[in-house]
């Protein structure tokens, strides 16, 4: 059974009670309309902690004026059923007024440098909204672990740096991407795709896999980037936003393949923007070292 809290005070009190009993807390923040990717985070939180908890809150600070806040998909009953199935004990489901009671938010949190490119360039207001709500949620939940999917890789990097820089007593745990059978990364926004766009969308994962193969074969970083670009450009329904090879911690583009790197990609399919990523294979790093 899931205890649903619509107030911050009630949710915080419940988790404080759990910790007083000596229980560890694993937290999964979400914006709802849950899919198997979210469910996998909840399963990880339940497996690695005594108590798994979650939040369901569509954060208006993450949306620009021309984005899909009003049409963002919602299905609370289904979400709560998924939470219960995956072992979540407590869910915070606040209103916007509960989260931001003073009206317009005057205090925001900004993580510099790693937010400048990619999602930050395409959605300038997005990461300040993410960092602000995550800081607030971490403050509400208290010490424990927090679980984020690797699908939003830049977000994961931002939250990890945020917790470290501000000495927040939360261990940020990144979890593997969950995919559909055809390779498309699961996302709440996949529901916006029409039939033709849905058939085209796996091109992102195909581009990443082709780039990883090129990297393993010894291609330089510039060629690996081009493989992704060419593959997405071959799909008429996809409009590429970016394709890059970056350092996984700083998110700076790299000139040479090395350890700890990530392939990032994003594209529009009609009005729907999707993103994906993949680790640069270790074999590619090893082969690069062999040539030097």
Torsion of CA 209, 215, 221, 223, to 10 degrees: -70
The predicted structure's pLDDT at residue 284: 62
Q: Is there a single domain that holds both residue 50 and residue 126?
A: yes
Give the Å distances, CA to CA, from 196 to 180, 200, 202, 270: 16, 6, 11, 10
HSE at residue 22, side-chain half, CA atoms within 13 A, is 0
Residues 38 and 112 both lie in one domain: yes
Any domain includes 102: yes
Structure tokens belonging to residue 59: 């954060």
Both 151 and 16 in one domain: the answer is: yes
Q: 87-124 pLDDT, tens per residue?
A: 999 999 999 999 999 889 999 999 999 999 999 999 98
Say whether both 192 and 171 belong to one domain.
no
- The answer to whether residues 161 and 207 belong to one domain is no
Q: Calculate mean pLDDT across residues 198-224.
A: 97
Annotated catalytic residue: which of 38, 90, 126, 205? 38
Which residue shows structure tokens 């911690």? Answer: 249
Per-residue pLDDT for 170 more than 70?
yes
Residue-number span of the structural domain to which 168 is assigned: 3-175
Residues 192 and 233 in one domain: yes
Calculate the alpha carbon distances from 188 to 29, 155, 177, 269, 276 in Å. 14, 16, 13, 15, 13
Q: Give strand ranges (E) for the chain.
A: 3-5, 25-30, 51-56, 88-92, 144-149, 170-175, 239-247, 261-269, 272-279
The H or E element that residue 228 is part of is: helix 221-233
Same domain, 164 and 198: no
Helices and strands in the chain, H and E counts? 11, 9
Q: Which tokens sit at 114? A: 């790693």
Domain boundary, last residue among 151, 175, 199: 175
Any domain includes 181: no
Rg (CA), the chain: 20
Confidence check: pLDDT of 287 > 60:
no
How far lies 127's CA from each of 5, 33, 147, 216, 236, in Å?
A: 26, 20, 17, 33, 30
pTM here? 0.94
Domain count, the chain: 2
CATH code, domain with 121: 3.40.50.620
Q: Which of the pair, 9 or 285, is modelled with greater confidence?
A: 9
Residue 182 lies in a domain: no
At residue 198, φ and ψ (nearest 5 deg) are -65, -35
**Domain assignment of residue 153, yes or no:** yes
pLDDT, tens digit, 9 for 90 and up, residues 256-265: 999 999 999 9
* pLDDT exceeds cutoff 50 at 291: no
pLDDT of residue 213 exceeding 50: yes
245 within some domain = yes
In a domain, 109, yes or no: yes
Q: Is 90 in the active site?
A: no
Give the separation between CA 128 and CA 135, rounded to whole angstroms: 10
pLDDT at 215 over 50: yes
Please give the pLDDT value at position 285: 59
Q: Please give the structure tokens belonging to residue 249.
A: 């911690």
Average the pLDDT over 60-89 and give the result.
92
């Amino acid at each position: 059974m899931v205890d649903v809290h619509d107030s911050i005070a009630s949710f915080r009190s419940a988790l404080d009670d759990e910790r007083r009993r000596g229980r560890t807390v694993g937290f999964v923040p979400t914006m709802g309309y849950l899919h198997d990717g979210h469910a996998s985070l909840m399963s990880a939180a339940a497996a690695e902690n005594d108590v798994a908890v979650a939040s369901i809150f569509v954060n208006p600070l993450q949306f620009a004026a021309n984005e899909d806040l009003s049409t963002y998909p919602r299905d609370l009953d289904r979400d709560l059923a998924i939470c219960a199935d995956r072992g979540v004990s407590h869910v915070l489901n606040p209103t916007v007024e509960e989260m931001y009671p003073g009206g317009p938010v005057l205090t925001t949190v900004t993580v510099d440098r790693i937010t400048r490119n990619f999602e930050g360039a395409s959605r300038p207001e997005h990461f300040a909204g993410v960092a602000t709500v995550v800081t607030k949620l971490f403050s509400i939940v208290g010490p424990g672990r927090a679980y984020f999917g690797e699908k939003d890789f830049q977000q994961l990097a931002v939250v990890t740096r945020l917790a470290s820089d501000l000495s927040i007593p939360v261990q940020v745990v990144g979890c593997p991407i969950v995919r559909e059978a055809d390779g498309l990364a699961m996302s709440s926004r996949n529901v916006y795709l029409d039939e033709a766009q849905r058939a085209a969308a796996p091109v992102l994962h195909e581009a990443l896999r082709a780039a990883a193969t090129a990297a393993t074969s010894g291609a330089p970083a510039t060629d690996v980037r081009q493989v992704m670009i060419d593959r997405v450009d071959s799909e008429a329904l996809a409009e590429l936003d970016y394709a890059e090879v970056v350092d996984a911690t700083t998110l700076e583009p790299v000139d040479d393949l090395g350890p700890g790197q990530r392939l990032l990609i994003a594209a529009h399919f009609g009005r729907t923007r999707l993103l994906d990523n993949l680790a640069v294979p270790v074999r590619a790093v090893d082969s690069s070292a062999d040539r030097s």
